[in-house]
Structure 1
Amino acid sequence: MAGARCRGAAEGTGPGTGTAVGVAVCGLGAAAWLSPALRRFAAVLMALAGPLLFRLGYRLYARTRLGFLFHQRQVKKARERFPHGHSVTQPLVFRGMKIVPIPVLDNNYSYLVIDTGSRRAAVVDPSDPVAVQAAIEEEGVTLEAILCTHKHWDHSGGNAELRQRHGACKVYGSALDAVPELTNPLGDKEKVTVGCLTFEALATPGHTVGHTAFVLDAGPFGGPPCLFSGDLLFLAGCGRLFEGSPETMLASLDAAVSLGEDTLLWPGHEYALECLSFASLLELDNPALEQKLLWATKQRWEKRSTCPSTLGEEQSYNPFLRTHRRELQEALGLRRGSGEPPDAFRARVLKELRRRKDLYKPTWGAPPRHLGTPPSPPGLCH
């Protein structure tokens, strides 16, 4: 039996799949029946190997050229798999302003935001420069600004190539986050103007140390505020805590919610179906969640985008914005301790939510006949 497990690890089908650590641990396991102490040591090593390898992989991806080369490979594969993008999107047009969602990679979104009067534009998180350039040319606009929410290549991978194409284009983002090609570092509440468009930087650390969301003031164009949230907030979800604590992420989510219920949410990923499915396991009697899940299921079977949402909607079904709700706390089996500050308890709720979401593995059944052929399932939330 132990020998079979070792073969599985070496071939990529068992514990420690595909890693030298996994094979080494299997070697220990094969002889563990001789020594209870050795068996305990093997168990500890297996428990530590996963997080250690994950952190190593994250550092290689986020901080080295190897990560960029991996990103380029993913871009190439996505272009072949989705020659027209992973989702059908619709631009949103206000009087004098236009937002064009650009589906890139397997589930990312970039956004081209246009002042239609001057034909000047900004792009948010241009991970695939070819797709973004195609949108720029189709719209006939001049790119003046790249607004980068954070350093991860699936949000910043196109910065360099677009700057080469558009010499006057500036790159905005946090100086804390090592954003590629950054020319104009921004602090919290600082503003960026492109034509008649005004964006405000909103410091939202948690996913990364310098994660920054961008808030577009659409009031002059007759629209509500628009939040380009990167990996802070998704429809029914939030980003992984790669470089922050639950307390930090909670404060960032609260800052987003404070923008107002009518604020349009433009997330960095198409994760709606997965995140709503996860949320439905926690709140079984939430009519808003049930209705949104049915709608999102139909949208995704038809390969249609689920963006944008609104912050008002999100507060009715997004568990990461409902840490104050007793029904969610009870579903998680958590109670506020005696003398525990409310926000400390909410951070504890958020931590448990994020832990469960990290472990969640969605299952995808057959679609109803009238909905046709389904798309590929969305990836795991970042």
Structure 2
Amino acid sequence: MRVVTVPILEDNYAYLVIDEATKKAACIDPAEPKVVLEAAKKENVELTHILTTHAHWDHAGGNEEMKRLVPNLEVVGGKGDRAQAVMREVGDGDTVLVGSLEVKVLYTPCHTAGHVCYYLEPKDGPRCVFTGDTMFVAGCGNFNAGTPQQMFHALVEKIGSLPPDTLVYCGHEYTEKNLMYAQTAEPNNQAIKDKLAWVRQQRAQGNPTVPSTVSTEWQINPFLRCREQTLLEYTGKSDPVECLAVIRARKSAWRP
């Protein structure tokens, strides 16, 4: 298996998930179809699926055009999310076969009503999860359609429980600002300082900051770390879910 990161729009990422054995591939959130199709052509793969994380236009807005340009594509999306052109709605426990790859669905509603993430543990490559706008590098999405408890379940209990070496591919290049905020919440966290220095170097060279890993996120992501004493003290809360809610509210109001 191989993953190709495709920068699109202003700061989004689409992805190609390629089964090397069959040269079949899925595209994740191809909101800029021509760019994604050019990447697929370059890789010489046959696209069989669109895997939609959620219904927002900058993730699902290219589905109809992709379906028109590649008529045999199956468009997959989360149950109840009403994403554009979705033909098959999926939830927890569902799988999608892309060539010989088994893609497992994690149902993570909160950012949108039916947001999903896609998890793979292939025989010929590292484990990986595509998190859309539920988890960013050092961040998480807004609670547009859900509650702090739902985000805690999605972020901490689901994504956070994946094997530590799982690669995390998110939907946006928000990493530098996320880490700048994380540093205000945990100013003595050396892992955040080190990651921020690396990110600035990457961006200066025009490189993406994905993928992260689950283990790295446990060190740097304040939303995932909402059970840590430093963040409980920062928010003045004793309950991790309430802590998560305060971190989200403060991040939304924060300006660099």
TM above 0.5, one fold? yes
Structure with more contact order per residue of length (Cα contacts < 8 Å, sep ≥ 6):
2
For residues 107-146 of structure 1, give each alpha carbon's deviation from its aligned partner in whole angstroms, at most 9, with x where no partner exists. Answer: 1000011112211110011110011111111111111000
Shift of 1:173: 1.0
Q: Equivalent of 2:137, from 208, 232, 235?
A: 235
Alignment correspondent of 2:242 = 348
Q: Secondary structure at the match of 2:178?
A: helix
Q: Which letter maps to 2:209? A: T
Q: Secondary structure at the match of 2:118?
A: strand
For residues 344-376 of structure 1, give each alpha carbon's deviation from its aligned partner in whole angstroms, at most 9, with x where no partner exists. Answer: x111101100001111112xxxxxxxxxxxxxx
Q: Secondary structure at the match of 1:207?
A: coil
Alignment correspondent of 1:190 = 94
Paired with 1:116 and 1:194, the residues of 2 have a C-alpha distance of: 11
Paired with 1:263 and 1:139, the residues of 2 have a C-alpha distance of: 24
Shift of 1:225: 1.5
Alignment correspondent of 2:151 = 249
1:145 aligns with 2:39: no
Q: Secondary structure at the match of 1:228?
A: strand
Paired with 1:321 and 1:182, the residues of 2 have a C-alpha distance of: 30
Alignment correspondent of 1:298 = 201
Structure 2 stretches of 5 or more lacking a match? none
Is the 2:237–2:243 contact (alpha carbons within 8 Å) kept by the matching residues of 1? Answer: no
1:313 aligns with 2:207: no
Q: 4+ residue runs of structure 1 moved beyond 6 angstroms?
A: none
Is the 2:217–2:224 contact (alpha carbons within 8 Å) kept by the matching residues of 1? Answer: yes
Q: Equivalent of 2:111, from 194, 198, 207?
A: 207
- Answer with 1 or 2: which has the greater Rg: 1
Report % sequence identity: 40
Q: Which letter maps to 2:116? A: T
Q: Which letter maps to 1:288? A: A
Decide which structure has greater helix share. 1
Paired with 1:98 and 1:117, the residues of 2 have a C-alpha distance of: 10
Q: Which letter maps to 2:240? A: R
1:170 aligns with 2:64: no
Paired with 2:228 and 2:21, the residues of 1 have a C-alpha distance of: 45
For residues 202-239 of structure 1, give each alpha carbon's deviation from its aligned partner in whole angstroms, at most 9, with x where no partner exists. Answer: 00011011000000122x11x33200000000000000
State the TM-score, normalizing by the size of structure 1.
Answer: 0.66
Q: Equivalent of 2:165, from 241, 257, 262?
A: 262
Paired with 2:226 and 2:48, the residues of 1 have a C-alpha distance of: 39
For residues 163-204 of structure 1, give each alpha carbon's deviation from its aligned partner in whole angstroms, at most 9, with x where no partner exists. Answer: 112111101111300011111111212000011111011000
Paired with 1:140 and 1:316, the residues of 2 have a C-alpha distance of: 38
State the TM-score, normalizing by the size of structure 2.
Answer: 0.97
1:283 aligns with 2:200: no
Q: Secondary structure at the match of 1:321?
A: coil
Q: Secondary structure at the match of 1:298?
A: helix
Q: Which letter maps to 1:236? A: A
Q: Which letter maps to 1:154? A: D
Q: Which letter maps to 2:177? A: E
Is the 2:31–2:63 contact (alpha carbons within 8 Å) kept by the matching residues of 1? Answer: yes
Q: Which letter maps to 1:360? A: W
Alignment correspondent of 2:126 = 224
Paired with 2:135 and 2:164, the residues of 1 have a C-alpha distance of: 14
Q: Secondary structure at the match of 1:319?
A: coil
Is the 2:48–2:72 contact (alpha carbons within 8 Å) kept by the matching residues of 1? Answer: yes
Change (3 A) 1:143 1:98: same
Paired with 1:322 and 1:113, the residues of 2 have a C-alpha distance of: 29
Q: Which letter maps to 2:138? A: A
Shift of 1:157: 1.2
Count the aligned residue pairs. 255
Structure 1 stretches of 5 or more lacking a match? 1-96, 337-344, 363-382
Q: Which letter maps to 2:148? A: P
Shift of 1:303: 2.0
Q: Which letter maps to 1:123? A: C
Aligned pairs for 1:80-159 within 5 A: 97-159=1-63
Q: Secondary structure at the match of 2:223?
A: helix
Paired with 2:3 and 2:223, the residues of 1 have a C-alpha distance of: 26
Change (3 A) 1:116 1:224: closer
Paired with 1:160 and 1:237, the residues of 2 have a C-alpha distance of: 29
Paired with 1:242 and 1:284, the residues of 2 have a C-alpha distance of: 28
Q: Which letter maps to 1:135? A: A
